[in-house]
Amino acid sequence: MNAYEANFDGLVGPTHNYAGLSYGNVASSNNRSLTSNPKLAALQGLEKMKTMRNLGLVQGVLPPHERPAVNELRALGFSGSDADILTKAAKQAPKLLASCCSAATMWTANAATVSPSLDTADGKVHLTPANLSNKFHRAMEHKTTRQVLQAVFNSERYFTHHEALPGIPQFGDEGAANYTRFCTDYHRPGVAFFVYGDNGFSSNERRPRPQRYPARQTREASEAIARQHQLACDRIVFAQQHPNVIDQGVFHNDVIAVGNKNLLFCHEHAFLHQRQVYEQLREAHTDSALSIVEVSDDQVSVSDAVSSYLFNSQLVTVNGKNTLIVPSECDANEKVARYLRWLTESHHTIDAVRSFDLRQSMKNGGGPACLRLRVVLTDAELAAVNPGSIMSDSLYQRLVQWVNDHYRDRLTEKDLADPQLLMESRNALDELTAIMQLGSVYDFQR
């Protein structure tokens, strides 16, 4: 049996903007109110998808959600026509309007947690959309996300779709950004590695926890997903992210660590009780030895890791070799660039590094790893995926043309109240549903 790790990247939406909505995400806060370029952002993402597909990897596409989310504004008391609602929200609650215009669904690492059929008791792929309850602009996503995932993974024979966990702080769930699967090979059972920021029900104030920024993922959420997905207890490891790095802007585990197959690449301060975490992973990963590449603070500081997004990279296998897909910010950071040269020349664990220009996404705090949801699929499961969501030369060309036809190359916060932007977005998504064979995933929002 063959199995593949498919990467489903999120298409950047037409309302891509810099509203600085994500407290705890340094880049999001630092670049607030800058003028964005949605067209360039979408084309940069598509170029990465095309390149990954050309490397021989299975590459999928997930569509953006409809924004502005007029249905959310209407539910919060604004009335009248869609244009009236946007005008009233801009005057009375501009921050709320900005939240309802966020294009954060592009970061599909937060879309869901996905467990392969090779790891689940019933032999099906399990998908749970993240509730993203820590931020209002993201907490509204899970309903559409579930609709999208059901349209893409649309066979009851192979896929089980769960509802999001309760949207309360104790079950805060940020999806696959805090989940890594280790395995000898994709067609073998794996180890599920869940990383959390804090315990949701703990009342012990002396317990190690971040003091400056919120811990978005709770242990309780990770445990609930492991139960839902019917994972074997002896092949699960739960680890707490180090509170000190959360307070330095490491809001998800994928900003400080990344793994693939039997390799973990992380900073020395990624986890609380790090040596113990390593031992637990090695004990659970019984099929083969787990390799760990640990980057010391002397080599790359947490600050440099956050500014360059060194660890928010994709670690993929290309022709049997480990390749690290990094943002171009790693080239611009002298210390990080020097480390990566040493890594490929001397370490012999990561064989190659490729960088991508994703500056439009990076300014909002999302690098290569944020833009993709990893889904391990067997041949039969891959054949059951909606073919309109699998990247090909023809789909790439159609999507590039679609972006050029519908997206603006300049967007400011003031533009979010423009009713024409809503119409442009709706027209674009209506055409996209036909291109990607998505059916009526957006109907309930209108």
pLDDT digits (tens, 9 = 90+) for 291-330: 999 999 999 999 999 999 999 999 999 998 999 999 999 9
Q: What percent of the chain has pLDDT above 70? A: 97
Q: What is the dihedral of CA 48, 49, 51, 52, to 10 degrees?
A: 110
Which has the closest alpha carbon to 333: 311, 294, 300?
300
Q: What is each CA distance from 263 to 122, 181, 260, 369, in whole angstroms? A: 27, 10, 5, 16
Reading the block at residue 295, the tokens are: 């980057």
Residue 46 in this model has a pLDDT that exceeds 80: yes
pLDDT mean over 325-339: 96
Parse the chain into domains and list their residue ranges.
1-107+374-446
Q: According to the model, what pLDDT value does residue 53 have?
A: 97
The pLDDT-based confidence of 350 (bands split at 50, 70, 90) is very high
Which has the closest alpha carbon to 256: 217, 230, 221?
217
Residue 28 in this model has a pLDDT that exceeds 70: no
pLDDT mean over 29-50: 90
Q: What CA–CA distance (Å, rounded) separates 365 from 296? A: 23
Q: What CA–CA distance (Å, rounded) separates 268 from 275? A: 10
pLDDT mean over 4-31: 84
pLDDT digits (tens, 9 = 90+) for 200-217: 987 666 788 888 988 999
* Beta bridge mates, 241: 271
Catalytic positions: 174, 252, 370
Question: 31 — phi, psi (to 5°)?
Answer: -105, 15
Q: What CA–CA distance (Å, rounded) separates 240 from 269? A: 11
How many Cβ atoms are within 10 Å of 88's Cβ, its own excluded? Answer: 17
- Please, which residues have CB within 8 angstroms of residue 335's CB and are 6 or more apart in sequence? 299, 300, 301, 304
What are the respective helix, strand and coil percentages of the chain, to the nearest 5? 40, 20, 40
pLDDT digits (tens, 9 = 90+) for 369-408: 999 999 999 999 999 999 999 999 999 999 999 999 999 9
Q: What CA–CA distance (Å, rounded) separates 365 from 19? A: 12
Q: According to the model, what pLDDT value does residue 442 have?
A: 82
Residue-wise over 17-37: b if at least 16 C-beta within 10 A, else e? bbbbbbebbbbbeebbeeebb
pLDDT digits (tens, 9 = 90+) for 134-151: 999 999 999 999 999 999
8 A C-beta contact, residue 314 and residue 258? yes
Question: 316 — phi, psi (to 5°)?
Answer: -130, 160
How many Cβ atoms are within 10 Å of 226's Cβ, its own excluded? Answer: 20
Q: According to the model, what pLDDT value does residue 29 have?
A: 67
8 A C-beta contact, residue 176 and residue 110? yes
pLDDT digits (tens, 9 = 90+) for 239-294: 999 999 999 999 899 999 999 999 999 999 999 999 999 999 999 998 888 999 99
Residue 24 in this model has a pLDDT that exceeds 70: no
Reading the block at residue 439, the tokens are: 């059916």
Q: What percent of the chain has pLDDT above 90? A: 86
CATH of 1-107+374-446, one of 3.75.10.20, 3.40.50.720, 3.90.76.10, 3.40.1190.20: 3.75.10.20
Enclosing H/E stretch for 7: strand 3-10
Which has the closest alpha carbon to 67: 359, 358, 398, 423?
423
Q: Quick one: three-class SS letters along 152-170?
A: HCCCCCCEEECCCCCCCHH
Q: According to the model, what pLDDT value does residue 23 have?
A: 67
Mean residue pLDDT across the chain: 94
Exposed/middle/buried for residue 354 (C-beta within 10 Å: 0-12, 13-18, 19+): middle
pLDDT mean over 87-108: 96
Residue 174 in this model has a pLDDT that exceeds 90: yes
Residue 27 in this model has a pLDDT that exceeds 70: no
pLDDT mean over 364-368: 88
Residue 444 in this model has a pLDDT that exceeds 80: no
Question: 89 — phi, psi (to 5°)?
Answer: -65, -40
Alpha helices of 206-352 — where are they, by DSSP H?
A: 219-228, 243-246, 274-284, 302-308, 329-332, 334-342
Residue 446 in this model has a pLDDT that exceeds 70: no
Residue 25 in this model has a pLDDT that exceeds 80: no
